[in-house]
Each structure stands twice: as structure tokens, then as C-alpha cells.
Amino acid sequence: MTPPQKAPTRTLVVALAERSYPVHIGAELLTGIGHLLPNTRSGRAIIVTNQVVAAHHLDRLQEGLERADIHHDVIVVPDGEVHKDWATLYDIHTRLLELKAERSTMLIALGGGVIGDLAGFAAATHQRGMPLVQIPTTLLAQVDSSVGGKTGVNHPLGKNMIGAFYQPSAVIIDSATLSTLPDREYASGLAEVVKYGAIRSPELFAWLESNVLPLLSRDEATLAQAIHESCRIKAEIVAADERETGERALLNFGHTFGHAIEVGAGYGAWLHGEAVAAGMVLAAELSVRVTGMPAADNRRLKQLLSRFGLPVRPPSLGDDRYLELMARDKKVEGGKLRLVLLKAIGQAVVVRDVP
């Protein structure tokens, strides 16, 4: 019997002049990872991961590093959003010092968004910067957090409030790692894919509406297309506005409400993509009133999120609690909240001081 055909490896470039880097997308990339990694003067790497990801994917990555004659060590941290904090970051730094990591040692983040953010912040701050390679293993991290250089930790008063912009040397997306991802986490990642269509590409949004079932069944070719299009859109936006002084703010559609949900409900109660999905629904409903977004587009967004099994009703935190949490958001400027709203599917705008 002929084996199933693998989706071809694709490579995008995040164009940031001398700090440009590739985003490699394909299946079964870990064991042959040597030719995808940037050169390292030290010939050494340190992997940061958690016990859940390690059980599924660490062996294959280590096999790939051994084939490439790259000496490596492993730092394992606890799993979960609740551990994306100063204490875990401090533990990573302690291990880097104990392992005598040098400025030229490559730090590899193997995991989802929490691992990518923690390892990225550690790479940005250990000896004021060491090479970073992102190997995201969740759909959400593959289409969003691994690309663009945002790193950081949470604080009890706000999500991602402490961190740095620090670009990786490469992002390696192995879609085969998604085979072990629980359905709830997989759906959480689809929320970010929907976001790209909603803010930038009506064509992507319509394509998603036509490919719900293949995506839910994790069809390899369909999934590869969704990942590629999401990364392409994000790479374009990051290249134009690396530090979020303008256009990059559009990527926060649904996130101001979403971050308030995550903090208000308690870190980990809602997955990030679930909170963003509910946040997009709130932002779209507000868009109908503020920007004149067609009610039909609002319904399309809500229906698509629902078809992917994502929540479209936010938790009842109370208006005062929502406003309190949103007032601490990074997008507050001059004491006034900026919200990303939609004029239509594929057309996002930043609105200041929403009435």
C-alpha cells in the first residue's frame, strides 16, 4: 500500500533586516532538524520543555540533535499557564547558570505558548541574549506565539505584562506534533487562525468556513495550509511593525477582552484561544455598534467559532470587573483603552476611547 503523502516543507521569512529569520513548516521535521537549525559557534543547545511535551516529542528532537552532532542538555519545567511566572523563569535561569550556558549556546523552546514565552524571555535575559529557536508543539503556538518575538511572564494583576521583544533565530513548525494534542487545545489554536481571517483576509475566512470538517479531522494538507496562511499574515505584519507601534496592534483582536477573561477566571480555567474566541465575539458585537460592522459579518464570525467548538459566551465577571481588568491592558495609552474592532470581515481598525 502506498504510504500517505506528506505535505511539503514550506519556508517563510520574517523580514527584519539583519534579524530576519526563517519559519519552516512541514511534517516529521524533528529527527532531521539539523539542516534547519541556524549555525551555532558552540555546537551546543539547551532544550526547555515540560514533562507532557517531553513524553511525546523530546526523544525525536534529541535524535535529530545527535545526528547533527549538537551536544545538548534539557531543562524540564512544570506544565500549565499557572507556571508562566517569575518563579519558573528564575528556575530556568538557575539551570542555565548551573549548566554553564554561554552567550553562544542555542536555547530551544520545545512546547506550546507557555514554554515559548518562558524560554524566549530566558534567552533574552541570560547574559543579555542568547540564540533562540522556537519549536512550537501546539496549534496556537504554531500559528501565533512562536512568530514575532513576544516573550514574557504573567503577573497576578495582568497577563503578559512583564517581558521583552526578542526575535528567534528560527521557528520550526512540525505539524506531526499536533497528533498528540488534546481536542480542546487544538480547537483553542483554531481561534487564532480565525482571527487572521477576521482582521486581514476575507479569503482565508471564507476558506475556513468551507473547511471546518477537514480541519477538525486534522487533515494534513488542510492543516498545513491553515498554518502557512496564518504565519504568512503574521510575518507580514511583524515585518512592518515589529514593536507594535501601529499595524501590529491589529493582531490583538479579541485579546483585550480575552486577557481579562483569563485573569478574571483564574489562569488555566480558560485556555488562551477559548478566551480569545469569546473576546472576539464581544469585540464583534461592539463593532456593530461602533464601526458599523454588518450584523451578517458578526453572525458569520460567531457561527464559525461555534462550529470549531469554541465558546462564544464569555463568563459573567460583571461589567466593573471587566473594566478593571481591561484598564490594566498593555494597549491602554494615555490612560485610555484602545480596542481592535472590525469594520467588516477582513478589515480591522484600532479605536481609541470607545464610548
C-alpha angle with apex 202: 199 to 207, nearest 5 degrees?
120
* Catalytic annotation present for 39: no
* Catalytic annotation present for 160: no
25: left (phi over 0), alpha (psi -120 to 50) or beta: beta
CA distance 242 to 340: 18
* Catalytic annotation present for 234: yes
Identified catalytic residue from 57, 72, 200, 259: 259
Nearest Cα residue to 341 out of 275, 259, 249: 249
132 with 166: CB under 8 angstroms?
yes
Identified catalytic residue from 18, 39, 100, 128: 128
* Catalytic annotation present for 57: no
Identified catalytic residue from 244, 262, 300, 331: 244
CA distances from 130 to 33, 133, 162, 255 (A): 19, 10, 19, 29
Identified catalytic residue from 44, 83, 95, 255: 255
* Catalytic annotation present for 81: no
* Catalytic annotation present for 63: no
* Catalytic annotation present for 35: no
CA distance 314 to 95: 39
* Catalytic annotation present for 252: yes
CA distance 342 to 326: 19
DSSP state of 174: E
44 with 57: CB under 8 angstroms?
no
Q: In what order do the strands lie in the sheet with 347-352?
A: 332-333, 336-344, 347-352
Identified catalytic residue from 24, 126, 234, 331: 234
Q: Give the active site residues.
A: 128, 150, 192, 234, 244, 248, 252, 255, 259, 272
